[in-house]
Chain A
Amino acid sequence: MKHNTRWIGLLLALVMLTALAVPTASAQESILDQVRARGSLICGVNGGLPGFGYLDPDSGEMLGFDADFCRALAAAVFGEVTADNLVFVQLTAQERFTAVQNRQVDVLFRNATWTVQRDAELGLDFGPVNFYDGQGVMVPRDLGVASLDDMDGASICVLTGTTTELNITEAMEKRGFSYELVKFERPAETIGGLEEGRCDALTSDISQLAGLRSGTADPGRYIILPDVISKEALSAAYIEGDPAWADVVKWTVYATMQAEEYGITQANLDEAMASTEASIQRFLGQGDQASGLLLGLDNDFVVNVIRAVGNYGEIFERNVGINTPLALERGLNALWTDGGLHYPPDWR
């Protein structure tokens, strides 16, 4: 009996060995093929940030600007978004890049800032930028502070593991101020720290500040200071060295912008499809001109994307625009034709 158990143990060890020794076959396969084979897109989002990626308390659905780009991508790959072909994974700032490295998520739309260090060292590729942001500082109105220059000695709440903690450090050191940073892992804890007086100020990307403020009991209590202390180019992230998948992500994001440039919306999509203009025909993959086929997608994938989520302007206004609790202006996020920075490359 004793010998038997020993042999079984040995056998198990050998089985495990052989299982491990087999190289992970999927390592070289494009994520596009993996997504198709799996029948669903796994998309990493924030999950706790109103306006960008949050669970709707009534329906339990994942809503927001980032979540809509996940929907756009699912529509681009599968033709439509169903309950089964899009899976959201909520990630903290700490977890997000590891999740991409480990292929737990196919793509990350989680207000992640594109930096050279992350691009070069994390085994990730970024882009395109879908939201131009900057880091700001939010304080209670009654603190009586007009700018960051008045904040020598302050306690500041910040999200840990982000570029924002580095930026605020540099901004305060540059001014020669003494300061205390109180670091939390989740956005809800940072805004809680401000609400309950643990900190004098909260720093984060301005879009996040607006989102967090909209979730407080009394949003009118807080003001965002005029100082913008950093550039934050928020962008999609995906695994490095998968050009086919990178192209699909890039051109899906660009498609929403190009649609806005052509004035194509969810409402007038059918009219646009009937358009005889060559450029619009090409963009929507009508007729015999290659569009989606170049990327290995359905030729008319743009139609599917617009039908699912609308153009960039519609996504923006629906989630974070002036008529939402976040009340963000288009600003830098307008198209280049309207004085903004979004400039989709030519669709040809």
Chain B
Amino acid sequence: MSDQPSSTFVASRHAPVPPWRDIRYIQAFLQIVFLIAVVAFGYTLIHNLVSNLADNRMAITFKAFDRPFGTNISEGTSNFDPATTSNWEALWIGFRNTLRVVAIGLVGTTILGVLIGIGRLSSNFLVRLVANFYIEVFRNTPLLVQLYFIYRGLRVTMPERVQDSIKLPGPVFVNRRAINFPLIEGTDTAWLFYLLFGIGLAVGIGLWVWRLRVQDRTGQPASVLRWFVPTILLFGAVGWLVAGGPFSIQNPELKRFNFEGGDKLSMEYLTLTLGLILYTAAFVADIVRAGIQAVPHGQIEAARAQGFSGGQTLRLIVLPQALRLIIPPLGNQYLNLAKNSSLGVAIGFFDVYNIASIISNQTGQSVAVFAVMMAIYLGLSLTISVVMNAVNYSMRLRSR
């Protein structure tokens, strides 16, 4: 009798738990139910969309993309033929325009953001004040407002008549519509120049690496630029002579209404690029500031103690360590910049969003067009993400 309770206890411990009370089964079951619910939810949404469109005699089709675009794109194209350019090709032109803005925007915003971020920590009162003022103004007003402000501002301050354009050396002409500048094109022999320049670049990089090794071995200053620059200049000059002037220059000429020939940057392009750089740089500046401040102060003191100058401390000690902290949030800002480029439609810039909405309007295929557009922006954002993750990985702290 006295053994009875303990033996029951042992038996119940080892008895199999029925599946409906086993936490593992319950969890698996719930996962499956949840998956079914999500799939059913998604299916219902799509089914409703398709059947509602069918009720309204509309079917989703991608055939509309094969039709001619039908109207002009005055940005990033030459000899555009609206009758033969399909909607796909028009989208591609729009995407290239978006890339032109985003690429320049990323570079510009990084440079400006780092400068302002450092400025915010400057010991100079005036520099600090300007940096703070800049950040607060640009971070706390909507980008759309800033774009309109810049666009209208550029428009009313530049010369109204094309004939009265500001002439800069080059010749470069600035008016309300665009900045016109000479078009530089490679001639038939330009490949010789590119070839020799490329060889020069390879040799220059080789010398650069060699000098760094010498520095590691002997402790002599590397002075890489003193070797690198003359090398590529030499090869470039030889290439220029061999190719016999590899470039032709076509100057813009004033015609009845506009400058023709030459190349140009439209006011819309300039506004959007400038607006994105100014806006995003305010965020980047604060990220840079935070990254620098996160570097332990002892590092700076140690650098000073070893005789590093202020600039050297920043360049060789602080920034490399700050970079590791800056990269992840910086990637977010790069993504914001890429996505915000779609605001160009407000000022009539022919980016991929603008082109897509024209196609959507002219064909009525809004669902198909917006699906393609989302895929394009997703692709762009994921590419930036992948690159930034790779950079982040290579910068990670290696513990030994």
Q: Give chain A residues whose Cβ lies under 8 Å from the Cβ of B265.
A: none
Residue of A nearest to B359 (CB): A161
Residue A348 is within 8 A (CB to CB) of chain B in the complex: no
A123 and B176 contact, CB distance less than 8 A: no
Which of A19-27, A67-75, A83-91, A220-228 lines the interface with chain B? Answer: A19-27
Counting CB contacts under 8 A, is A329 at the interface?
Answer: no
Partner of B177, one of A121, A181, A198: A198
Nearest chain B residue, comparing its CB with the CB of A16: B41
**Interface: A118 (CB within 8 A):** yes
**CB proximity to A under 8 Å, residues B40-86:** 40-41, 44-45, 48, 52-53, 55-58, 70-74, 81-83
Give B79's nearest chain A residue, CB to CB. Answer: A178
B48 touches A20 (CB 8 A): yes
Residues in B with CB closer than 8 Å to A216 are: none
B189-197, B252-260, B334-342: which lies at the A interface?
B252-260
Please give, as numbers and ranges, the residues of chain B lying within 8 Å of A14 by CB-CB distance.
37
Contact partner of B346 among A151, A168, A185, A200, CB < 8 A? A185
Interface pair B52/A10, CB less than 8 Å apart? no
Q: Are B41 and A118 in contact (CB under 8 A)?
A: no
B176: which A residues are within 8 A, CB to CB? 196-198
The reply to whether A173 and B82 form a contact with Cβ atoms under 8 Å apart is: yes
The 8 A CB mask of A108-123 against B (1 = contact, 0 = none) is: 0000000001100111
B71 contacts across to A, CB distance below 8 A: 165-166, 168-169, 181
- CB–CB B45/A20 < 8 A: yes
Known: A10-B33, A98-B366. Contact between A151 and B257, CB under 8 A? Answer: yes
- Pair A155/B364 contact, Cβ less than 8 Å: no
Q: Please indicate the chain B residues that have their CB under 8 angstroms from the CB of A165 in the complex.
A: 71-72, 358
Q: Give the one of A20, A168, A179 with max B CB within 10 A.
A: A20
A9 to chain B: which residues have CB within 8 Å? 34
Nearest CB of chain B from residue A343's CB, rounded to whole Å: 29
Is B37 a contact partner of A13 (Cβ separation < 8 A)? Answer: yes
Count CB-based A-B contacts (< 8 Å): 133
B34 to chain A, nearest CB (A): 6
Give min CB distance, A292 to chain B, whole Å.
Answer: 28
> What is the CB-to-nearest-CB distance from A202 to chain B, in angstroms, rounded to a whole number?
13
Whether the pair A122, B44 counts as a contact (CB closer than 8 A) is: no
Are A10 and B57 touching (Cβ within 8 A)? no
B132 contacts the other chain (CB 8 A): no
Instruction: Answer yes or no: B362 CB below 8 A from chain A CBs.
Output: yes
The contact string, 1 if C-beta is below 8 Å from chain A, for chain B 138-180, is: 0000000000000010011000110000000000000011000
Question: How many of chain B's residues have a CB under 8 angstroms from any CB in A?
Answer: 51
In angstroms, Cα B255 to Cα A17, docked, is: 64
Inter-chain contact B58/A101, CB cutoff 8 Å: yes
Shortest distance in angstroms between A106's beta carbon and chain B's nearest beta carbon? 14
Q: Which residues on A sit within 8 Å (CB–CB) of B83?
A: 173
Produce 1/0 per residue, B172-211, CB < 8 A to A: 0000110000000000000000000000000000000000
Interface residue B361 (Cβ < 8 Å from any Cβ of A): yes
A182 at the interface (CB under 8 A from B): yes
Interface centre among B33, B70, B354, B364 (most CB of A within 10 A): B364
Question: Which residues of chain A are within 8 angstroms of B81 by Cβ–Cβ distance?
Answer: 173
Task: For the complex, give the distance between the alpha carbons of A94 and B44 in Å.
Answer: 28
Across the interface, do B53 and A123 meet the contact criterion of CB distance under 8 Å?
Answer: yes
Residue of A nearest to B357 (CB): A94
Cα(A14)–Cα(B294), bound, Å: 48
Main secondary structure of the interface of B (DSSP, over half): helix
CA distance A10 to B260 in the complex (A): 64
With A10-B37, A173-B83, A181-B72: A27-B30 Cβ-Cβ less than 8 Å: no
CB-defined contacts of A161 to chain B, threshold 8 Å: 357-358, 360-362
Contact call B267/A198, Cβ cutoff below 8 A: yes
Contact A241 B258 (CB under 8 A): no
* Given contacts A94-B361, A98-B366, A153-B256, A197 and B160 within 8 Å (CB-CB): yes
- A155–B34 contact, CB under 8 A? no
Say how far B151's CB is from chain A's closest CB, in angstroms: 9
Interface check B345, CB cutoff 8 A: yes
Flag whether A328 is at the interface (Cβ < 8 A): no
B363 on the interface (CB 8 Å rule)? yes
* CB–CB B34/A121 < 8 A: no
Query: Given the interface contacts A13-B37, A118-B364, A161-B361, does A240 sit within 8 Å of B56 by beta carbon?
Result: yes
- Give Cα A197–Cα B44 distance, bound, in whole angstroms: 51
Q: Roughly how many angstroms separate A154 CA and B350 CA in the complex, as a whole number?
A: 18
A172 vs chain B, min Cβ distance (A): 8
Residue of A nearest to B30 (CB): A6
Check: A152 CB closer than 8 A to any chain B CB. Answer: yes
Check A338 for interface membership: any CB of B closer than 8 A. Answer: no
Q: Which residues of chain A (154-184) have a CB below 8 Å from chain B?
A: 154-155, 160-162, 165-166, 168-169, 172-173, 178-184
Question: Does A239 lie at the interface of the complex (its beta carbon under 8 Å from any beta carbon of B)?
Answer: yes
Chain A residues 184-217 with CB under 8 Å of chain B are 184-185, 189, 193, 196-198, 200
Knowing that A10-B33, A123-B58 touch, tell me 4 more A-B residue pairs with CB under 8 angstroms. A13-B38, A151-B257, A160-B361, A180-B258
A-B pairs with beta carbons under 8 Å apart, 7 shown: A17-B41, A160-B357, A179-B72, A183-B348, A197-B160, A240-B56, A241-B56
Binding site for B on A (CB under 8 A): 6, 9-10, 13-14, 16-17, 20-21, 24, 27-28, 93-94, 97-98, 101, 117-118, 121-123, 151-155, 160-162, 165-166, 168-169, 172-173, 178-185, 189, 193, 196-198, 200, 239-241
Which 9 pairs between the two chains have the least Cβ-Cβ distance?
A: A161-B361, A123-B56, A197-B160, A180-B74, A122-B364, A123-B58, A13-B37, A154-B257, A169-B71
